[in-house]
Amino acid sequence: MVVIHEIGHGLVSTLLGHPAQMLILSPRKDKKESWGNTLARITRGILSKKDLDDHIAMLYGGIIAEEVCDIEGSAGAGADLEEAGSLAAWWVDSFMRKQSVGRANLIGITDAHHDSWGLHPLPTESLRRESEKLIKKLLDAAEKMAFSALKKVGKKKILKLARLLENKDIVPRNTFLKYCKKVGIKFPSK
């Protein structure tokens, strides 16, 4: 179910302090999006390790929302996991090469490097093994973060929200926040 999947992305990013710009709930005819038809967009690029962790957690949000709501068969897990894996690999690679990723902008990176990511194999086997471990650690932590965030919201409220949003194509941020409030989902104030 696309609505629940996208709500998952939107909730996780908003709960982690990055209000989703909008939820796109219907296939977009104008663009072949590599992210799939739908995306809860985070407005800021990735500036820090926390942003990276949050963003990867947001990517897991779709699948986790389905899991929390006991829905079988995902509405976009493949692309999300691929993206999460690429981001984690990119970060770990940069980290291991002691490169600064300071001002890198997530959207720019996604557009320019989605297929290639410009990653070259690390020079030694032990570095490669270490990098794989770090990537897995990063992904596992983000998945856990998404799970605990959505578990706290709970199946009941997610389903209620899905019912309110299910006939909409695009849900702008303020509408999303309004409906979240309506079903009793609270976000941390910054």
d(CA 62, CA 70): 13
Nearer Cβ to Zn ion, position 19 or 62? 62
R_g of the chain computed on alpha carbons: 17
Rounded to 5°, the CA angle 23-28-32 comes to 115
Q: Decide whether 81 or 119 has the Cβ nearer to Zn ion.
A: 81
10 or 62: CB nearest Zn ion: 62
Nearest approach, Cβ of residue 75 and Zn ion (Å): 7
CB-based closest residue to Zn ion: 62
Q: How far is the CB of 5 from Zn ion (least distance, A)?
A: 5
Does position 10 bind Zn ion by CB under 5 A?
A: no
**What minimum distance in Å lies between the beta carbon of 23 and Zn ion?**
11
Whichever of 131 and 162 has its CB closer to Zn ion, that residue is 162
Give the shortest CB-102-to-Zn ion separation in angstroms.
28
Q: Binding marks (x or -) toward Zn ion, 58..87, rule CB under 5 A? A: ----x-------------x---x-------
Interface with Zn ion: number of residues (CB under 5 A): 3
Listed ranges 40-48, 55-63, 99-107, 151-159: which one lies at the site for Zn ion (CB under 5 A): 55-63
Closest CB to Zn ion among residues 78, 172: 78
The footprint of Zn ion (CB under 5 A) covers 62, 76, 80
